[in-house]
Amino acid sequence: MDSFATAFAEAGALLVSFDPDFLSIVGLSLRVSLTAVALACLIGFPLGALVALARFPGRGVIVLLLNTFMGLPPVVVGLIVFLLLSRAGPLGVLGLLFTPTAMIIAQTILVTPIVAALTRQIVADLWVEYGEHLRSLDAGPVATMTTLITDARYSLATVVLAGFGRAIAEVGAVMIVGGNIDHATRVMTTAIALETSKGNLSTALGLGIVLLLLALAVNAAVQIINASASRRAVLA
C-alpha cells in the first residue's frame, strides 16, 4: 500500500517535470494514433457510407466482416502487419518494420473497421429519414453521400473519438510492429508494459495517469459535442 502511494507521488512529480523522454513517448503516442485515426476516417467514412447505400452482391458479407473486425485482436493485427513488413514478407523491401509508420499502419487496420461499421449504421439510419427527399431532388451518389456524412457529423465525431480511444489504448499491435525501441517506437502503452516488468512502477503509473487523462479528455469532448448538438437540435 505504501509503495502504491509512493508510486503515485513519483508519478505526479514525473507529470509536472516535463521530462523530455517522457514527453517524447506521449508525443509519439499521439502522433501515431492521431495519424492512424485520420487515415481510418479517410477510408472508413466513405466505405461505411458506400456499404450503407449501395446495393451490390456480397454486401451482406462485407457488413458481417466489418462488424466482426470491429473486435479485431490487436496482437493478431500486429502479427499480420509484422509478417507483411518483415524482411521476408511481401512488403519487406520497404524497410518499415520497427518504425512509427508500421505502427500507424497497424493501428489504421485496427481502427478502420470500427469507423466503417459505425458509419454504416449511422448513415443507414439517416438514409431512412432523408432517402425520399434526396431521391426527390434527384441527388447523385456523391451528393447523397456528402449530404449524409455532413448531416451525421455529430454522430460521426463520436465515431472518431471511439476509434481514437481504441488506437491510443492498444498495446499488442504497436508492441509487435514497433518493437518498443527507446526514442524510436516507444509509446505510452508499450512503455507502461516495459516499466511495469522492470519494476519502475512510478514511471509506469505516471504514463498510466496520462493515458487516463487523455481518455477523460476524449470522453469530455464527446459529451460536449453531443450536448451542443442536441442544444442546436441537430442530433435527434
Q: Are 212 and 20 in contact, with CB atoms under 8 Å apart?
A: no
Q: Is 130 a binder of another protein (CB under 8 A)?
A: yes
- The C-alpha atoms of residue 113 and residue 29 are separated, in whole angstroms, by 21
In the complex, least distance from residue 119 CB atom to another protein, rounded to whole angstroms: 16
In the complex, least distance from residue 229 CB atom to another protein, rounded to whole angstroms: 9
In the complex, least distance from residue 236 CB atom to another protein, rounded to whole angstroms: 7
Q: Which of these ranges, 18-26, 92-100, 132-140, 177-185, lies near another protein under the rule CB under 8 A?
A: 132-140
* Range 79-87, long-range pairs (CB < 8 A, 24+ positions): 79/176, 80/109, 81/105, 81/106, 81/109, 81/173, 81/176, 81/177, 82/176, 82/177, 85/177
Binding string, 217-236, against another protein, x = CB under 8 A?
A: ---------------xxxxx
What is the C-alpha radius of gyration for the chain, rounded to an integer number of angstroms? 21
In the complex, least distance from residue 230 CB atom to another protein, rounded to whole angstroms: 11
**CB contact set of 215 (below 8 Å; sequence gap of 6+):** 165, 168, 169
Q: Which of these ranges, 13-21, 32-40, 134-142, 158-166, lies near another protein under the rule CB under 8 A?
A: 134-142
Q: Which of these ranges, 26-34, 39-47, 138-146, 157-165, lies near another protein under the rule CB under 8 A?
A: 138-146
Alpha helices in the chain (DSSP H): 2-17, 20-53, 59-69, 74-85, 100-136, 141-151, 153-169, 172-178, 188-198, 201-231
Q: Is 76 a binder of another protein (CB under 8 A)?
A: no
- Applying CB under 8 A, the site for another protein has a residue count of 18
* Closer residue to another protein (CB): 132 or 182: 132
Q: Is 59 a binder of another protein (CB under 8 A)?
A: no
- The C-alpha atoms of residue 124 and residue 34 are separated, in whole angstroms, by 26
Q: Is 2 a binder of another protein (CB under 8 A)?
A: no
Binding string, 142-181, against another protein, x = CB under 8 A?
A: -x---x---x------------------------------
- The C-alpha atoms of residue 26 and residue 207 are separated, in whole angstroms, by 8
Site for another protein, rule CB under 8 A? 129-130, 132-139, 143, 147, 151, 232-236
